[in-house]
Copies of this chain bind each other. A is one copy, B any other.
Amino acid sequence: MINWRIHETGFDSTRISNNGNKYLIGNGYLGIRGTLQEYEKEQYPAINLAGIYDQVGSAWREPLNAPNALYTLIEVNKKVYRLPEDTPEVHEISLDYRHGIFERSTTWKTPEGLILIQAERFASMNDKHLIGMRYTLQVEHGSKVRLVTGIDGEVWDINGPHYDLVEFTNRNEVLQAVATTHENKDRICVYEGLEADFTYEEQIREENRKYLRYLEFYAQPGISYHLIKWVGIYTSKDLEDYGEKAYQTVIRAKETGYEETRKKHMEEWEAKWNLSEVFIEGDDKAMEALNYSLYHLHSIAPRHTDHLSIAARGLSGQTYKGAVFWDTEMFMLDFFLMTEPEVAKTLLNYRIETLEGAKKKAKAYGYQGAFYAWESQEGGYDACSDYNVTDVFTGRQMRTYFKDKQIHISSAVVYGLMRYVEFTGDHQLLLEGGAEVILECAGFYYDLLVKKVNKDQYELHDVIGPDEYHERVNNNVYTNRMAKYTFDSAVYIMKLMEEAEDSGSKYHHLREQYDMETLRPKYQEASDKLYLVQPQEQTGVIEQFDGYTELEDVSIEEVHSRLLHEKEYWGGAYGVATHTKIIKQADVVTMLNLFSKDYDKDILLKNWQYYEPRTEHGSSLSACMYAMLACKCGMPELAYPFFMKSALSDITQKGKEWAGLIYIGGTHPASSGGAYMTAIEGFAGIHIIDGTLKAAPALPPGWESMRFKLVFKGERYQVTVTREDAELHKIES
C-alpha cells in the first residue's frame, strides 16, 4: 500500500511559493494554490481560473485569479494569529492526493494557552463550480474569539490588477463578489455561503476591496468550533445566468451538507483512479510519485467543457501566461487518450476551435495555412512576446524567436489529432474540423519549404527546434521530421476523404474547399523530398541542425562555469550555450522517440549516448524523452532516474523558477504526462502494431510487476506486466 498523502511539518516561509504549487488542488475549472486561509496577496494565494484571460496595458495577457472567498483569519483576545507573521508551535500541511483534499493544522502558543486551527478544503470534482472548506478552531483556555472570513478582492496577480471593479452584495446571507475585468469586461462571480455549529454575533463589512464577516463568540476550552464555507464560482463566459448559477451552487451545497458533498467529490476521484491508477509492485516510491503526477493531470483536466486545453503550468497560477503550449499534445495527451479519451477530445477541440487564430497568425507573417500560437490563449491568440527574456546585464528586453520561428508547434497539433484517431479509432473528430486543421498545417509547412536551387531537396530554414538554446537554425531534424509527418498526415486525410466520398457533409465541404488533385501529389512530393539528415556513418549520430557538428564541444560544467550572472540566459545570440553543443532539452532524442520504428536500435542508442551528456535538461520536457528512449534501447535502468525526475518534478520542485529575470514557477503537467508515458509506453512498452495494442515490457530493477487499465478504440483493457510477460485483458467498461 502506498501513502496517498504528502505532508510537511513545521513552517518555512521560503517555501510558501513552492508549496502553492506542490499542494495545489483543482478540478479543471479552477485550481487552488496550496496556501493558507489567512494569506493575502503577498503570499500568492490564488483561485486560478481556466481559459479566461485579461491584459492590462502592454504587460502580458494572463489568466485570472478569482477573488479569494476562502479568506479566513482569527483573532483571540484581540490579537490576530496568522502566518507567516506569528511563529507557530506546531504546523502541518498535507494533501490527500487520492481525493484532492488539502489540509492545514496550526497551533500557536499564547500566554493563556494553545490555539489550534485546522482546515481542509476541496475543489469539488462533482460540481466544478464549487469549493468546500471546513475550518475548525479550538482554544486551550476560554477566550474571546473573532473570526474574520469572507471574500478578499485584493487578488494576487503578476500583471494585474485585472479587476477594474469588484462589487459586493449580500443576498440572503450569501456574500456575492462580482469582479469586472479590465480588457473585455468579463464578469467573475464568486459567492460565499457560511455554516457554523456555534452561535456568534456577525457584522458584515466592506473594506479595502474585502467583503468580510466579523464573527464574534466566546470559545470554551477544549471545544471544537466548526465553520463550513461554500464558494460558488461562475463567469460570464460560462453561460448567461452565471450569477444565479453561482448563487444556486452555494445554496445547493448548503442543503446537501458538508459530509455528503465531500463524499460525492471523493467518489468522483475514486472513479478517476479506477480508470487510471497505476500499480507498481516492488517500488512504492515510484508508484507514489507516478500517481501523484496523475493526480495533477486529473486536477487540471477540463471536464466541464468540450473545448478547452491545459496551460503549461496547469492551474497553478499565472506563470507562462496561462497559455497552452505544445506540452499538451506532445506530453499530456497520451494520459487522457489512454484513460479518458473524451478529455483528449476536449483538448483537441480547442485546437480545432482556434484554427482561425492559427490562420490569422500565419497570415500576419505572410504565410499560408495554419501557424498555431506558441503560447495559445483564447481564440488561439498568441500570447508569446517578441521579447521573452530580460538581459540581466542591461535590464533590456532581448528579442527572442519562440513565437515566429518555433514552427514545430503546428505539427504538434497534427500529431495530437492523428494520435487521437489512432488510439480511439474515432474519425468523427476529423469530420468535425480535425481534417481541416491537418490540411491547413500542411499548407503552412508547404509554404515554408525552401529548395536550394542547386539541390533537389526541400528544406526548412531559420527555425527553432525543441532546443531553444540554438535559435534560427536550418534543417532542425525534429522540425523537418514533424513537417514530413504533417505532409504524410495530410496525404492520409485526403485519401480518407476520397475513399469516404459519401460518409459525411464535412468531407464534402472540404473537397469543395481544397483542390485535392493538386494538393495530394504536392504534399506527397513534399514528404518525399523533405531533407532528413542521416546518421553520420562513423558515429551514428544525427546532427541536430545544419552546422551543429562544428560547434564547440564542451561539458555542461564548463558552460556553467562561464556564467557571469546566475540568472543570465543560456541561449539567445550570445548566451553561454549558444555556440556550444550544449542543448537545453531533448531534441533529436524527442524525434527518435516519436519515430523510433524508422531507426535501428543501434542508432537510437548512439544518439542517446551522444546527446544525453550534452543536454542541460533545462526544461521539464526533457527527462521523460530520455527515459522513454532509454526503454526503447532496452536500458530501463538508465531510464529510471529520468523517469523519477519527471514524476517527482512537482514534489521536489527543483525545476527552474527563473528564466532570466522572469518568474516561471508552477506545476509541470507536461512532466507528469511524461512520467505516465514513460511508465506505460516505456517500462510496460505499450505500443500499437497494425492497429493492435501490444506490450513490450522492460521493467526497471526492483519492479516486479505493473498493473493498470487502458482504453483503446473504445474498449477498456486491464494490463498486467511482469518482468517476463505481459497480459492485456478486455474488461467491461
Contacts and interface: CB of A to CB of B under 8 A. Distances in A.
B450 A453 contact: yes
A396 interface: yes
A396 B574 contact: yes
Given A391-B574, A461-B462, A453 B454 contact: no
Most chain B Cβ neighbours within 10 Å, of A394, A449, A453, A526? A453
Interface string A434-456: 00000000000011011111100
A578 to B, nearest CB: 7
Given A399-B579, A573-B399, A573-B574, A449 B452 contact: yes
Given A391-B574, A573-B572, A453 B458 contact: yes
Contact of A461 (B450, B526, B573, B579): B450
Contacts of A453: 446, 449-451, 458, 526
A608 B196 CA distance: 80
Contact of A574 (B399, B452, B472): B399
A378 to B, nearest CB: 25
A132 B462 CA distance: 59
Contacts of A451: 450-453
Nearest to A573: B573
Given A398-B574, A450-B461, 16 more contacts: A393-B393, A394-B564, A396-B564, A399-B574, A446-B453, A446-B454, A447-B452, A449-B454, A450-B450, A451-B451, A453-B526, A461-B461, A461-B462, A462-B462, A572-B574, A573-B573
A458 to B, nearest CB: 6
Contact of A447 (B368, B454, B573): B454
A472 B472 CA distance: 10
B396 A394 contact: no
A479 to B, nearest CB: 16
Given A462-B461, A472-B472, A564-B394, A399 B578 contact: yes
A452 B453 CA distance: 9
Interface in A540-576: 564, 572-574
Closest 8 CB pairs of A and B: A573-B573, A449-B453, A393-B393, A450-B450, A451-B451, A447-B454, A451-B453, A398-B574
User: So how many copies of this chain end up in the complex?
Assistant: 2
Contacts of A572: 573-574
Contact of A450 (B368, B452, B472, B579): B452
A230 to B, nearest CB: 52
Nearest to A526: B453
A452 B366 CA distance: 13
Interface in A671-702: none
Nearest to A472: B472
A479 B659 CA distance: 38
A579 B391 CA distance: 16
Name, among A446, A450, A579, the residue most crowded by chain B CB atoms within 10 Å (CB to CB).
A450
A470 to B, nearest CB: 12
Nearest to A453: B449
Nearest to A445: B453
22 contacts: A393-B393, A393-B394, A394-B564, A396-B564, A399-B573, A399-B578, A446-B453, A446-B454, A447-B452, A449-B452, A449-B453, A450-B450, A450-B451, A450-B452, A451-B451, A451-B452, A461-B462, A462-B462, A472-B472, A572-B573, A573-B574, A574-B574
Interface in A349-408: 368, 391, 393-394, 396, 398-399
A391 B526 CA distance: 43
A572 B396 CA distance: 14
A447 B454 CA distance: 6
A578 B574 CA distance: 15
Contacts of A579: 399
Nearest to A455: B447
Contacts of A574: 391, 396, 398-399, 572-574
Contacts of A454: 368, 446-447, 449
Nearest to A525: B453
A74 to B, nearest CB: 51
Interface in A202-259: none
Contacts of A447: 452, 454
Contacts of A564: 394, 396
Nearest to A474: B462
A472 to B, nearest CB: 7
Contacts of A391: 574
A384 to B, nearest CB: 16
Contacts of A396: 564, 574
Contacts of A578: 399
Contacts of A399: 573-574, 578-579
A446 B455 CA distance: 11
A467 to B, nearest CB: 17
Nearest to A565: B394
Contacts of A393: 393-394
Contacts of A472: 472
A447 B446 CA distance: 22
A595 B574 CA distance: 37
Contacts of A573: 398-399, 572-574
Q: Which of A452, A458, A574 has the most CB of B within 10 A?
A: A574
